[in-house]
Amino acid sequence: MPRWLSLVDGPQTLGRGPAFWFVLGVIVLVAALLPTFVNAFAITNLTYFLVWVFMALGLSLIWGYAGILSFGQTAFFGLAGYTYGVISINLGDAGLWTWFALLLSLVLPAMLAILVGYFMFYGGVRDVFVGIVTLSITLVFETFMAQTAGPEWTIGSARLNGFNGMSNMPPLTFPWGENPIIFDGTSLFWLVLALVVLVYVGLRILVNSRFGNVLVAIRENPERAEMLGYNVRLYQLFVFVIGSVLAGLSGVLYTLWGSYITPSSMGLTAAALPIIWVAAGGRKDITATLFATVLLTWLSQQLAVKGSQYALIWMGVILLVVVLFAPEGLFVTVWKKLRDGRRMRQRATAPKTVSLPSA
């Protein structure tokens, strides 16, 4: 195994070893084969849950690992969505143009993140102030985009269309002789699933590398990290850019999923949601974030389907229970309980140790 790949397991991530990867592999395999078992809607819906994972993983990296609470990741989400809309509507779906639009939709959030990140980290903005700056940015975007209803707000042939949102952008298309591959339905699902696996493994390697260790050092004590000779600001900037590009990726995929993007996806409620997912799952671990995001988006939809007007109340109650009884986040707490339980059992079955009164 090459050295860099061995970093998928390490001190900064929960879960390691063949058993863990076997279970994860089975989950991915089952997911990949799902389209043969379930109906089209289930696949569309699962794609929808996975679309949000990237923004959440990015936030887990920024907040959980580097200790920077950004409250406005939706700014990058929205910017990417609108960029894809404008570019793809203008250039059409011929050739590789939709992929060019996708690429540009990741480059623009990266540039915005460099700008904002430089502005904040090199300007001494920290703690809760980072949250308020990023929140302000996303709300400025939302307020501005909401009023672009008139025909004067047109870029090329793309109407921004204000609060009602922009729609009818072409899907990702790959030229393939007579029948170009259109990423829609099942093929979009596979694409998103592949990206989730790629980003997840990539992030595991990143956070277990030296870079990740430094991030955690900065989170625990920025002054000490600085004294040890690390360029704290550069690390913060870098991690902020990665997280923001991931938010952008979610934005593009969301736009592709519904062929629709709206200013309210940058509003206050939308901005708070990723924070809820990440915090409820356990912000200091990307595996926890991944599963929490899928679980919570699924749960809130299920509640809305089944619980009618009590849906939001149930959602609130569930979140309260999680936060009170799983202090490190649902998944991290459960994981540690399981691990401790196993160790305890191992110890209990070992002949020399005195067995504990409780099982």
Selected binder of another protein within 108, 135, 158, 290 (CB under 8 A): 135
What are the two backbone dihedrals, phi and then psi, of residue 155, each rounded to the nearest 5 degrees?
-110, 110
Q: Which of 147, 346, 353, 355 binds another protein (CB under 8 A)?
A: 147
Distance CA 245, CA 109 (A): 6
> According to the binding rule CB under 8 A, does residue 192 interact with another protein?
no
> To which H or E segment does residue 324 belong?
helix 311-325
How many helices (H) does the chain have, and how many strands (E)? 15, 6
Establish if 163 lies at the interface with another protein (CB under 8 A): yes
**Applying CB under 8 A, what is the total number of residues that bind another protein?**
70
Among 31, 34, 149, 216, binds another protein (CB under 8 A): 149
If one asks whether residue 23 binds another protein (CB under 8 A), the answer comes out as no
| Residue of 246, 270, 258, 255 whose CA lies nearest to 101 | 255
221 binds another protein (CB under 8 A): no
CB 244 to another protein: min, Å: 16
* Binding positions for another protein, 85-124, rule CB under 8 A: 119-120, 123-124
| 7 versus 85: smaller Cβ distance to another protein | 85
| Cα end-to-end span (Å), the chain | 39
| Residue 102 to residues 81, 111, 345, Cα–Cα distance (Å) | 9, 15, 50
**Cβ-based neighbour number of residue 137 at 10 Å:** 21
Nearer to another protein among residue 22 and residue 129 (C-beta): 129
Is 284 a binding residue for another protein by CB under 8 A? The answer is: no
Q: How far is the CB of 45 from another protein (least distance, A)?
A: 7
From residue 137, alpha-carbon distances to 111, 115, 206, 276 in Å are: 14, 12, 28, 19
**Contact flag: residue 228 with another protein (CB under 8 A):** no
Which residues touch 220 (CB under 8 Å, ≥6 apart)?
67
CB of 284 to another protein, least distance (A): 11
Q: Is 48 a residue that touches another protein (CB under 8 A)? A: yes
> If binding is defined by CB under 8 A, does position 186 make contact with another protein?
no
List Cα–Cα distances, 276 to 54, 329, 349, in angstroms.
Answer: 14, 10, 40
Beta-carbon contacts of residue 259 (< 8 Å; ≥ 6 apart): 167, 168, 169, 170, 171
Region 287-306 residues binding another protein, contact defined as CB under 8 A? 301, 304-305
* 154 beta partners: 159
Asked if residue 158 binds another protein (CB under 8 A), the reply is: no
φ/ψ (deg, to 5) at 158: -100, 120
Comparing CB distances to another protein, the nearer of 216 and 318 is 318
Q: Does 265 bind another protein (CB under 8 A)?
A: yes
260 binds another protein (CB under 8 A): yes
Pairing of strands 158-159, 154-155: antiparallel
Told to check if 316 binds another protein by CB under 8 A, we report: yes
Question: Is the CB of 27 or the CB of 127 nearer to another protein?
Answer: 127
Q: Using CB atoms within 10 A of its CB, is residue 188 exposed (0-12), middle (13-18) or buried (19+)?
A: buried
User: Interface with another protein by CB under 8 A: which residues?
Assistant: 39-42, 44-45, 48, 69, 119-120, 123-126, 128-129, 132-133, 135-137, 139-140, 143-144, 146-147, 149-151, 161-165, 167-168, 258-260, 262, 264-265, 268-269, 272, 275-276, 279-280, 283, 301, 304-305, 308-313, 315-320, 322-324, 327
